[in-house]
Amino acid sequence: MLEEPEYIPKAKGKKKRNWKKISFMITGGLLLVLAVMLFFANAYINKSLPQIEGTISLPELDNEVTVLTDDHGIPHIKASNDRDLYIAQGYLQAQNRMFQMELSRRQASGTLSEVVGEAVIDQDKYFRTLGLRRAAEKSYEIYSEDGKEVLQWFADGVNAYMEEATASNRLPIEFLLMGSEPAPWTPIDSLTIGKFMAFDLGGHWERQAFNYYALNNLEEEKALELFPYYPENKPTIIGKEEIDIASSFENAVIPHAFNGSNNWVVSGEKTETGFPLLADDPHLGLATPSIWLQMQLETDDMNVSGVIFAGVPGIILGHNDQIAWGVTNTGPDVQQLYIEERNPNNKDEFLFEDDWEEATVIDEPIHVKGGETIEYQVVETRHGPVVSEFAGDSGKDTVLSLRWTALDATTELEAILEINRAKNWEEFEKGLEKFLVPAQNFVFASKDGTIAYKANGRIPIYPDGEDALLPLPGWEAEREWNGFIPYDKLPKLINPEKGFIATANNKVVDEDYPYHISNVWAQPYRYERIAEVLGGENDLNVEDMQALQMDTTNLQAREFVPLFSEQLQDVELGEEERLALDLLEEWDFKDDVGYAQPLIFHHWMDGIEDILYSDQIPESVMELFGARGQTTDEILRKAIRGESSLWIEENGGIETVLQVSLENTIENLVESYGQELTAWEWGDYHKVQFDHPLSAVHPVLAYFFNNEDPMPVGGSAVTPMAAAYNSDTGEVDHGASWRFAIDTSDMRTGYHIVGPGQDGHFKSEWYHNQMEDWVKGNYHITKLDEEEGEVLRFLPKK
């Protein structure tokens, strides 16, 4: 029997149908509003995309400038004179990287709080204390009129873009998100960014602070074991009162210990073409946008191509039609902490040679977005700023000040402008005399067949008996620096018999060199591998240079895995630990993405350090223990040789340290990657993303600004393919920020990778287009005489 259908009054049914219709209309309306909002948001965002074709009126110019943008987003700027060239370069840098330039000058100047708020007050205090901007102002005063003109022309170009973009409401979207607009650009801004790069690469005051802490808080023998080592028989390039270190530097901004590089040059006697080869890959922070901007600059008497920091004119690394050059960080001791004794009756006076000297007190008010202005003061002694109490006046009678070459007046841009035009080694070396900070290992190759090397920069001469390992008494004149190593005495090498020169932040000179350079060098593994390849091969070509830059051979593992295995051969291990050891013994010692062995080895080495140090060195002080890898390596070598090491002995001996750390490593890895060891892969942990600075603010911003998923990548901090990482997350955050190779038989053609891309605008086709190239080693070609691409014309005022 059929049930009688439920009765629904007509009126009620009509109401339901009307409500559905209304709901549909409301939903449709909201979607339409959303679509319109997205349309206008998209239109707004697209307005700030760089213009690469057509014409732009630039009244500041004397003559027309053409800009050809090639298929990889590289601008080739052609001007009839220097003035027009640098105005155009400033404009183009601004339309590609204005937000990056803004953040860079604010970070270096200590003014981020003005746009970010209270979260970065301590960071601003630190950079105000260092005084990078004050140093830039001092530097500007000693620049030549020609140098000042270039800086002003560049600033004029930047300001021309900013004025147009502000007036037409097409500044990059990041300014809207930050709720700010950029102030006019000045020559001091460019020089301040240059000083920041000196900070990023500058020296080792933090290791002096750590050594001081160790001597005051550990047994003397144990403390001395932690002092820097450079292993014997490893290659060189050329043959008064205790201070609370932990709290004093709690908020210090410490550069990444891995900031270094690889470079090398090969004589034509060892190459396929008979002409020199050059390769360079500076290792810096990996982020979006890239720290580098690739450009070509051409006038009637100059044609130079390469990379430059956004916000700075010229080309700092690259080649012209006659020469090519590259750098790595020398890492000399150019930063010295001085212990200063303060007058207990006058906090602004400090002892020197039995007299109280008045320090300079500098007002540095910090304006805070959404907050009150902080009346902050910096105290500078004869040596430099007091850095041990930058977060506030501790009231102590003993403090630490910093003497640092980069805080002097220096002239790096003058050097860049000269080497851009150099045609041979003599002209290039003459230009380098003005490149003072940071001290760099320059390698050089020219079309005439010359290869050369110079450890260039202002390197202090220490008093007899001092070796820059500890803070020095600031009240004794005999502890002052004795000037700087004379320019003609700096380490140099030209056309060596072995047919190549390579540097990888390793030790520069042997013990016969009469001057002190540094106590802290990079572990020698990258250099050893580079020298192994270059020394054993002939008929080398530019593809071989690219392959070597992507080489993942781990010589640290090649050294230590057999030693560890021998130490543990009679030790009872669990099944998984024994399998892990077997896998390591079968390894070809390449840190490749698909291998399990790099995952095991690098975590094992981290586990060893954790056992040795974590119980006795506070985490805040560990941050000052820079370049500790070489110290750990030497402690392990000593113990394996049977020599005494308190750090090893107090943890049960070398067998116990190795066994326990291996067990801890495997337990942690099993928890993260499962029981099947053979299925583990280095690339499951070791990944790169190139984070944008705003991506950490909110996941929505991360979605737009980090528009690629993290990519598995090979290499590590000890392989020629440099890819240092955060050990907590595996995120690769430091490495080859630019890769470059050239065969000088064809000076028109350079091979480049700029990870993750050329542009700073997230909707540009060149934003992240080189991210996969960076991972896989796919180089693009840039030519001095490029003829294909989009053409933009800058027109002067009629």
Concatenated DSSP letters for 20-47? HHHHHHHHHHHHHHHHHHHHHHHHHHHH
Question: Is 759 a domain residue?
Answer: no
Evaluate if residue 390 carries a pLDDT over 60. no
- At 544-580, the pLDDT tens digits run 999 999 999 999 999 999 999 999 999 999 999 999 9
Question: Is 459 a domain residue?
Answer: no
Residue 691 counted as an annotated binding residue: no
Number of structural domains (the chain) is 1
Q: Is 139 a catalytic residue?
A: no
What pLDDT, on the 0 to 100 scale, is given for residue 57?
96
Evaluate if residue 675 carries a pLDDT over 90. yes
Closest by Cα among 517, 414, 512 to 458: 517
Are the C-beta atoms of 790 and 50 separated by less than 8 Å? no
Q: Which two tokens stand for residue 42?
A: 């998209």
Question: Is 40 a domain residue?
Answer: no
Task: List Cβ neighbours of 556 (8 Å cut-off, separation of 6 or more).
Answer: 523, 525, 605, 633, 718
What pLDDT, on the 0 to 100 scale, is given for residue 405?
96
- At 44-93, the pLDDT tens digits run 789 999 999 999 999 999 999 999 999 999 999 999 999 999 999 999 99
Q: Which pLDDT band, with edges at 50, 70 and 90, does 603 fall under?
A: very high
Interstrand relation of 451-456 and 323-329 (parallel, antiparallel or unpaired): unpaired
Give the 3-state secondary structure of residue 1: coil
Q: Which residue has the higher pLDDT, 245 or 271?
A: 271
Q: Which pLDDT band, with edges at 50, 70 and 90, does 1 fall under?
A: very low
- At 306-346, the pLDDT tens digits run 999 999 999 999 999 999 999 999 999 999 999 999 999 99
Q: Which pLDDT band, with edges at 50, 70 and 90, does 227 fall under?
A: confident
Closest by Cα among 796, 684, 757, 696 to 50: 757
User: How far apart (Å, rounded) are the C-alpha atoms in residues 419 and 512?
Assistant: 31
Residue 411 pairs in a beta bridge with none
Residue-range definition of the domain harbouring residue 628: 555-589+596-680
User: How far apart (Å, rounded) are the C-alpha atoms in residues 218 and 211?
Assistant: 10
Peptide bond into 720 cis (omega under 30): no
Cα–Cα separations (whole angstroms), residue 12 to 3, 9, 26, 375, 749: 22, 5, 21, 70, 79
User: How far apart (Å, rounded) are the C-alpha atoms in residues 216 and 621?
Assistant: 13
* Rg, the chain, Cα only: 29
Question: Is 708 a domain residue?
Answer: no
| Average pLDDT estimate for 276-281 | 98
Concatenated DSSP letters for 82-98? HHHHHHHHHHHHHHHHH
Helix (H) or strand (E) holding 780: strand 780-783
What pLDDT, on the 0 to 100 scale, is given for residue 3?
40
| Average pLDDT estimate for 704-708 | 88
What pLDDT, on the 0 to 100 scale, is given for residue 7?
34
- At 103-122, the pLDDT tens digits run 999 999 999 999 999 999 99
What pLDDT, on the 0 to 100 scale, is given for residue 719?
98
Question: Is 203 a domain residue?
Answer: no
User: How far apart (Å, rounded) are the C-alpha atoms in residues 283 and 268?
Assistant: 27
Name the least confident of 467-481, 580-594, 657-671, 779-793: 467-481
Task: List Cβ neighbours of 290 (8 Å cut-off, separation of 6 or more).
Answer: 690, 737, 738, 754, 755, 756, 757, 758
Tell me the percentage of the chain whose pLDDT exceeds 90: 81
Question: Is 335 a domain residue?
Answer: no
Question: Is 612 a domain residue?
Answer: yes
Closest by Cα among 769, 694, 689 to 729: 689
Q: Which pLDDT band, with edges at 50, 70 and 90, does 388 fall under?
A: confident
Give the 3-state secondary structure of residue 507: coil
What pLDDT, on the 0 to 100 scale, is given for residue 250?
52
- At 490-547, the pLDDT tens digits run 999 999 999 999 999 999 998 889 999 998 888 999 999 999 999 998 999 999 999 9
Residue 620 sits in a domain whose CATH number is: 1.10.1400.10
Q: How many CA atoms lie within 13 A of 413 on its CB side?
A: 31
Evaluate if residue 13 carries a pLDDT over 60. no
Evaluate if residue 15 carries a pLDDT over 50. no
By the 10 Å C-beta count (0-12 exposed, 13-18 middle, 19+ buried), 258 is classed as: buried
Tell me the percentage of the chain whose pLDDT exceeds 70: 89
Q: Which pLDDT band, with edges at 50, 70 and 90, does 240 fall under?
A: very low
Residue 794 pairs in a beta bridge with 56, 65
- Active-site residue, selected from the candidate residues 109, 139, 248, 261: 261
Q: Which pLDDT band, with edges at 50, 70 and 90, does 256 fall under?
A: low
